Amino acid sequence: MVAVGVDLPIMIDRAAGASLAVQVADGLRAAAAGGALRPGDRLPSTRALATALGLSRTVTSAAYDQLLAEGWVEGRVGAGTYVTAVPRGVSPAARRGSAGGPVGGRRDPGAAAVGPVPAPTAVAIGPATAGPEGAAGPGAATGPGSFTGSARAWGPAVVAARASAPGRASARRPNAPGRPEPGGGRYRLDPGRPCTAALDRAAWRRAWRAAGGAGPDDVPRPDGLPEFRDAVVEHLLRHRGLTPADVLATAGTSAAVGELARLLPAGATVAVEDPGYQRAVGALRAAGLRVVPVPVDDEGLVVDAIPAGCAAVYTTPAHQFPTAVRLAAPRRVALLERARDEDLLVIEDDYDGELRYDVAPLPLLAALAPDRVVHLGTASKIVSPTLGVGWAVAPRPVLEAWRELRERTGTRPSPAGQRVFAALAAGGDLSRHLRRLRRELRERRELVVAAATRAGWAVQGDPAGAHLVVPLPDEPEAIAAARERGVDVGGLADYATADHSTADHSTADHFTGGREGTGRSVTGGRPAEPAASGLVVGYAAGTRAELHTALALLTGD
């Protein structure tokens, strides 16, 4: 028996025709049918689930009552509510979370997409014919039409030709832009760093001992060690609501983006967020691809601004880097509709995806459209960059092409890091660590918000992840002053994808009257657009005492 937390991918749409209780029940039903919830799992209490989703307890109680009546769950006096076996009459496809139709019974028209199963009325991406067992996600197509157009075929022969095509290497830029170089300050408030202080050192040592060492005859596999891939599948089921049929080990997100770039047509155009994660942007440019910046606002990537003719879109929908906002549910649907209509490959970088603590979960893009999305994750932020490993879930044609590319290039992720991650997961230490990590980051964020409030600053960003934004019109001066005091802190301009050197950064009107200390700045009663100028404050690095000192130095408190 496993007690399930409140990190369940339930999308709530208050404008939908279905009641809120029906939407919650649909989400839990889909999670049980798709495998994210398993027989014997204990559900969160109705109060805890209501708090996580921002609903009343009456709504979640009604949803549980509906599932009890249908036989999906059972109540045990004094012990809670538990998932039962999938009720009779539910098809094998529904048990796997097939995208072919409603799961576990009726679905009201207009109901939101929930769990790992897309709502038929919201997003129906890819060919109507489901792929065979083993495809990368339910209903994933495997033929040439999966990514329509011969220019985007994913066959191994095409990848082999691309990997060896003359001129590809010469397109690489030796100084592709990555994350800004730190200023060498004693205190680190720059984003993108892991919170290793939350890591149980005894568990860490146990995992390394259990991992052992590689023998001289061990040959690294191009797709990763089986035990690592199994651990990632379980991790994604439990913590991200994703039910992957296959997983590829990677050397981290940036490395994965660089490999994916080799699979795209030479000179192809990729839309990226602006501001955005510059290591990924650099990897795309280094492969000779054309990068087109797309603006980000308070609801994430502006999907309507993606130009026509792109081969792919790179996005960080869970916790946008660096603006710290999430891709809103309607934008997720719109992005996947464009992916279907325009034959786009969506690269979903699940940055900070596991680090949600005070906002309701939203389904992954890969869960909604497994045949259009490459999902990327990493152990660097949730455990330690020492492991040097990540993972990819992708449509089967992409995975096959990716494996073929590795056979040609000899690229292999770290076996040692894979073994340690698998050992942490197998013993339950990874799940326990994630719970500690979320608590620690929530408390650290509260410290940052409190310090900003005392300084009269607003803050921006969803309460998740390990960074937030402090909008300031004088970003360069603020960064320089912080570094003089020994504090390294990021600035939004550091992560600009387009050239904004001539842009007007005097955007103080966006934040005047903003609600300070609440986590989202507002102007005129609505969320303000993300700051064009401001500090990107990370709060994961170092100890709690060091964070206190760094914040005092930053704010002059």
**What residue type is assigned to position 521 of the chain?**
S
What pLDDT score does 354 carry? 92
SS3 readout for 513-552: CCCCCCCCCEECCEECCCCCCEEEEECCCCCHHHHHHHHH
For residue 217, the model assigns a pLDDT of 62
pLDDT in tens, the chain (557 residues): 455 555 666 778 777 767 888 888 888 888 887 777 888 888 888 888 888 888 888 888 878 877 876 778 888 877 888 888 665 555 433 433 333 332 223 333 333 333 333 332 233 323 333 333 333 333 333 332 334 333 344 444 444 445 444 443 333 333 333 444 555 568 999 999 999 999 999 999 999 998 887 666 667 788 999 999 999 999 998 888 888 888 999 999 999 999 999 999 999 999 999 999 999 999 999 999 999 999 999 999 999 999 999 999 999 999 999 999 999 999 999 999 999 999 999 999 999 999 988 777 788 999 999 999 999 999 999 999 999 999 999 999 999 999 999 999 888 888 999 999 999 999 899 999 999 999 999 999 999 999 999 999 999 999 999 999 999 999 999 999 999 999 999 999 999 986 443 333 333 333 222 323 333 333 333 344 555 789 999 999 999 999 999 999 999 87
Which two tokens mark 424?
Answer: 């942490």
Phi, psi of 346 (to 5 degrees): -100, 125
Largest CA distance in the chain: 69
Distance from C-alpha of 294 to C-alpha of 24, rounded to nearest angstrom? 33
Residue with tokens 């910046």: 293
Cα–Cα distance, 95 to 43 (Å, whole number): 18
Strands 312-315 and 269-274: parallel
- The position carrying tokens 């769950």 is 73
Give me the pLDDT at residue 150, please: 34
What secondary structure does DSSP assign to 65-80, as a single string? HHHHHHTSEEEETTTE
CB 551 within 8 A of CB 451: yes
pTM across the whole model: 0.71
Q: Are 203 and 433 in contact (CB under 8 A)?
A: yes
- Distance CA(462)–CA(514), nearest Å, equals 15
Question: What domains can be seen in the chain, in order of their start residue?
Answer: 20-95 (1.10.10.10), 187-197+431-555 (3.90.1150.10), 218-427 (3.40.640.10)
| pLDDT for res 67 | 84
Q: What are phi and psi of 152, to 5 degrees?
A: -120, 30
Residue 490 near residue 183 (C-beta atoms within 8 A): no
Nearest CA among 11, 9, 81, 6 for reference residue 39:
81
* DSSP H/E element including 534: strand 534-538
Give the model's pLDDT for residue 86: 61
Q: Is the peptide bond before 530 cis (omega within 30 degrees of 0)?
A: no
